[in-house]
Amino acid sequence: MESNVTMSSVQNGRNVGRRAAAGGAWLLGARLAQQGVLLIQVAVLARLLDPKAFGLVGLADLAAQAIGVLVYTGYEFALVQRPDLEEIDIHTAWWVMLGRYLVIGAGLMLLSGPISRFYRVPEATPILMAIGAIQVMQGLASPSPILLRRGMRFRRLFQLDVGSAAVGLAVGVAAALALRTVWALVLARLATTLTLIVLSYRLDPYRPRRRFSRSSFRQLSAYGRWMLGSAILAFVFWQGSNALAGAMFGVVALGIYQMAARFGLLANSLFAEVFQGALMPAYALLQGDEARVSTAFVSTLGFAAMVLVGITALIALGLPRLLIVVLGEQWAEAAALVPVVAAAGGMHAMLRTGAPLYLGTGHPRFLFLIDLVQALTMVVLLYPLGRLLGLVGLPCAILAGTLCALPVWWHGVRQATSCTLQQVSIALATPLLGAAAMVGVFSAGATARFAHAGSAAGVAWHIVLIVAAVLGYVAVIGLCQRVIPRYAPLVDLRDALRGMLGGRRPGAGLVQSP
């Protein structure tokens, strides 16, 4: 049922980093496929529905997260981090998490009226109640995603994520074509949740039992208390701007801002969770051996920085124009927000490279401190920048918060590893050189006569620039890899893809499952 961890076959930290990267390739594949399906769904529905429909569902999501963060347990991380996991721990965690979703659902339904009146959108009341019911259903799912991640069985996670997203896409598009109302988004969410529940029990043998241990509850909660603090601060950091966008500029502006975030935060949503899911079990396996942890961290940091910086630069430079082409002119304001949102999301994802290290080695307080600095800085700047700059001021406040948290990130890395500032600087600065090359390609391409044309030729030239920018980025990374000792992110990427495509179970030898 649960995964048993062994150190018997660990050879060195760098090997752990590469094995974790191979597992991360499966997680990344799952996230890419899942997000790809969701973005197709959004692109189709954005053509059929107006920004207000997305704003209404976004308001319901915001309210659900506000309630959920107050009863957050952090058990999904505690179950992965514990060296020895017993069956009673899993049963206890299931009942606690079920109770959490019951609270979220009931709270959302009870507060639907007051929330609708506060935002002056009475039509939001039934939407809030429906999303509340879906939250209750979500609590019935098996904890199999946690167990699969603990056992580094990422291929099954791929099936779970992609299967539920695909069903949501089919139902959402069909409902939008038939209804042309906000309820198409609600039905898509319902279909995704029901599919997730079914698959969660089919992909793992775990079945809930009427068993609960107070001792297990106390032990899991002792780890999770830091995660509760981080969850509250992360909610303030990310959703504070959403709440202010709706309060200051209206529910339509909320829909526009959330659409910009949906695309601008792709680097953060795709890779931050992937690296955390793949690396936390590996760091948990190596905890107590600082040398191996340090080697693994340096290796994976170089790999993560290469991916995050490249994707962030590509989104900021290449996506806004394509977004207008795909979604239509009604979303032009959202497209204009994407570069700043992408910069904030990419910087936050870089800070999140420390999360699996802190959580896996038993230092969750550093994740809490990072979130605290980010949230406090953002709260101070959010309203004045919103007043001064409009919607674009909100992601600017988020970006400022991430920059202020960098010293805390480095302090946590120093506490958990023996990495040097030179090693970390090389891992972070080299991708920035590649990003500068991407900016150069776009700047040079913008001088072409038809570069800004709205015709098919202008769009085609934009796509050519995107391809050229990616090639330039890879060329710079490859050159740096040849001249900088022990810097090999492209080699790690190759090994990760080979581990995935070669059919080997990622992490084999590190994690044994019954």
Report the distance separating Cα 488 and Cα 21, nearest Å. 13
List, in order, residues 6 or more apart from 108 with CB less than 8 Å away. Answer: 60, 63, 64, 67, 128, 129, 131, 132, 135
Question: Under DSSP, is residue 120 helix (H, G, I), strand (E, B) or coil?
Answer: coil
Q: Among 467, 474, 429, which residue's Cα sits nearest to residue 317?
A: 467
Residue 60, pLDDT > 50, answer yes
pLDDT above 70: residue 38? yes
pLDDT tens-digit profile of 426-467? 888 899 999 999 999 888 887 766 656 556 777 788 888 889
Most confident region among 150-159, 247-256, 475-484 by mean pLDDT: 475-484
Compute the average pLDDT of residues 334-343.
91
Q: What is the mean pLDDT of residues 355-373?
A: 84
Least confident of 161-170, 220-229, 500-509: 500-509
**Poorest-pLDDT segment among 82-91, 365-374, 491-500:** 491-500
pLDDT value, residue 400: 94
Distances (CA, A) of 188 to 105, 164, 193, 194, 244: 18, 10, 9, 10, 27
* Choice between 44 and 27, residue whose per-residue pLDDT is larger: 44
Taking the C-alpha atoms of residue 203 and residue 115, their distance in angstroms, rounded to an integer, is 38
Name the least confident of 202-216, 225-239, 362-376. 225-239
Q: What is the pTM of this model?
A: 0.67
Q: Which of 43-47, 480-484, 509-513 shows the lowest per-residue confidence on average (mean pLDDT)?
A: 509-513
What's the confidence (pLDDT) of residue 74? Answer: 72
Q: Assign 3 a pLDDT band (cuts: 50, 70, 90).
A: very low
- How far is the CA of 383 from the CAs of 238, 242, 410, in angstroms? 14, 12, 29
Give the percent of the chain with pLDDT over 90.
Answer: 21
Contact by Cβ (8 Å): 57, 127:
yes
The pLDDT of 220-227, averaged and rounded, is: 68
Q: What is the mean pLDDT of the segment spanning 414-423? A: 87
Q: How far is the C-alpha of 376 from the C-alpha of 404, rounded, in Å?
A: 10
* For range 49-66, the mean pLDDT: 86
Report the C-alpha gap between 490 and 474 in whole angstroms.
9
Rounded mean pLDDT, 212-230: 74
